[in-house]
Amino acid sequence: MKNYHIITFGCQMNKSDSERVSKFLEESGLKESSASEADLIIVNACSVRQSAIDRIRGKINNVKKEKGKPVTVITGCLLEKDKKEMQKLFDHVLKIEELPNWPLPILEKRKGERFTVKPKRCGPSAYIPIMTGCENFCTYCVVPYTRGKITSRPSKEIIDEAKEAIERNHKEIWLLGQNVNAYNGDMSFPDLLKEVNKIKGDFWIRFTSSHPKDLSDELIDAIKKCGKVTKYLNLPIQSGDNEILKKMNRPYTTEDYRALVEKIRGEIPDITLSTDIIVGFPGETEKHFRNTVNLFNEISFDMAYIARYSPRPQTAAYSLKETVSESEKKRREKLLEELLKESNMEKNKNYKGKEVRVLVMKRTKKGFLMGKTEKYKNVLFKGKDELVGHFTKVRINECTSWGLKGKVVKK
């Protein structure tokens, strides 16, 4: 067995786990290849929505058709119910936590847990999980079942990993956890941010996700004072209606959320805010949805990840009767997306003529370079490949609802 191919679904936590899988396989002598040339196919699954699980079936059947018979492995976030079906589709269903001991004959077995395997990093961003698991049990969410209880990594391990990434020229550190504010290692999350901020070098620090119930004054202060921590915050609200929030087991009210945003904007006036929203939760009437629309307009987020509710086995909401049709969920999703576009257009206009610092992420299919500003805005511009992975200055000359376009400012 010589070649492997890995397919990753889900969030940055899964991307980060896949980087460790790749490294582990390569340390055993395998090389990354296209799916058609691979002898070993790994799928790293996400169960947050049914659609992601359905896509796995399609992908694996295609892969099996393409080539003789590669060995197939599925890992990642899987519900018990899906594991049974996956056992029929894949040769192995393996736990990501047990990566160093995966029982594949071609792999060299080792002691220890997944974080003993170093990641194979690619691109300018280094993803560093600081904790895994979640104990919040929002009624719609599978994560407490797929990732289990909270385990936090020791701060030294995290700081060492960040230092190593900076030494290897990564320009952006992402500290990851399902709720980073619940980090309970040997220091608090704000203190951990301060420690990573002390690492020498020119880089940005980002983190995700933060549950509004746990966002402390200390964290706001750390974001404000740490120069390398970007002034960008993802603060998932999920719904703008108190009744729905209660049914979701989100233990805050819209009034609490508004007050929190006011406090954050009072302390850090130029902060950009993103959020997560679920539309069509069981029982969400037009009146409830209107409350979400009103809050959405009022807060004017810079970005929002809008999801149509997907009932998931094992979760508490699974037993609730679905009351919103798929077409109505789509309508609500589209309406919020349109509002987001309009408010972004207004905000992005302010960038015209300005110079922004951009971290160049990649070349797009259409041949542009694509970068991100500190505020996580997309910027497209023309330039050489050498710029990828570096900071550069871009003067903005075009603003759209999805981002900015400009020209590199010659030094």
Contacts to ligand SAM by CB under 6 A: 11, 48-49, 140-141, 143, 178-179, 209, 211, 236, 238, 276, 278, 307, 309-310, 312
Which of ligand SAM, ligand SF4, ligand F3S, none sits in contact with 144, Cβ below 5 to 8 A by type?
A: ligand SF4
Closest residue to ligand F3S, based on beta-carbon distance: 10
10 lines the binding site for ligand F3S (CB under 6 A): yes
Nearer to ligand SAM, 174 or 351 (CB): 174
176 lines the binding site for ligand F3S (CB under 6 A): no
215 lines the binding site for ligand F3S (CB under 6 A): no
Q: In this chain, which stretch among 42-50, 158-166, 276-284, 356-364 interacts with ligand F3S, using CB under 6 A?
A: 42-50
15 lines the binding site for ligand SF4 (CB under 6 A): no
Interactions with ligand SF4, residue window 339-398 (CB under 6 A):
none
**Of these, 75, 146, 178, 348, which contacts ligand SF4 (CB under 6 A)?**
178
Burial 116-142 (b: 16+ CB within 10 A, else e): ebebbbeebbbbbbbbbbbebebbbbb
**Of these, 43, 79, 142, 150, which contacts ligand F3S (CB under 6 A)?**
142
Nearer to ligand SF4, 99 or 143 (CB): 143
Which of ligand SF4, ligand F3S, ligand SAM, none sits in contact with 310, Cβ below 5 to 8 A by type?
A: ligand SAM
Which of ligand F3S, ligand SAM, ligand SF4, none sits in contact with 137, Cβ below 5 to 8 A by type?
A: ligand SF4
Nearer to ligand SF4, 10 or 100 (CB): 10
Nearer to ligand SF4, 242 or 397 (CB): 242
Q: In this chain, which stretch among 8-16, 61-69, 294-302, 313-321 interacts with ligand F3S, using CB under 6 A?
A: 8-16
Secondary structure in 3-state letters for the chain: CCEEEEEECCCHHHHHHHHHHHHHHHHCCCEECCHHHCCEEEEEECCCCHHHHHHHHHHHHHHHHHCCCCEEEEEECCCHHHHHHHHHHCCEECCHHHHHHCCCCCCCCCCCCHHHCCCCCCCCEEEEECEECCCCCCCCCCHHHHCCCCEECCHHHHHHHHHHHHHCCCCEEEEECCCHHHCCCCCCHHHHHHHHHHCCCCCEEEEECCCHHHCCHHHHHHHHHCCCECCEEECCCECCCHHHHHHCCCCCCHHHHHHHHHHHHHHCCCCEEEEEEEECCCCCCHHHHHHHHHHHHHHCCCEEEEEECCCCCCCHHHHCCCCCCHHHHHHHHHHHHHHHHHHHHHHHHCCCCCEEEEEEEEECCCCCEEEEECCCCEEEECCCHHHCCCEEEEEEEEECCCCEEEEECCC
138 lines the binding site for ligand SF4 (CB under 6 A): yes
Smallest distance from the beta carbon of 318 to ligand SAM, in angstroms? 9
Interactions with ligand F3S, residue window 68-107 (CB under 6 A):
77
- 355-363 and 391-399 strand pairing: antiparallel
Instruction: For residue 1, give both structure tokens.
Output: 């067995």
Nearer to ligand SF4, 22 or 209 (CB): 209
Which of ligand SAM, ligand SF4, ligand F3S, none sits in contact with 351, Cβ below 5 to 8 A by type?
A: none
Nearer to ligand SF4, 96 or 138 (CB): 138
297 lines the binding site for ligand SF4 (CB under 6 A): no
Between the two ends of the chain, the Cα-to-Cα distance in Å is: 49
Q: Using CB under 6 A, count the residues that bind ligand F3S.
A: 12
CB 249 within 8 A of CB 138: yes
46 lines the binding site for ligand F3S (CB under 6 A): yes
Q: Apex CA 287: angle with CA 285 and CA 289, to 5°?
A: 70
Nearer to ligand F3S, 242 or 314 (CB): 314
- The residues binding ligand F3S (CB under 6 A) are 10-11, 13-14, 46-48, 77, 142-143, 146-147
Which residues bind to ligand SF4, rule: CB under 6 A? 134, 136-138, 141, 143-144, 178-179, 211
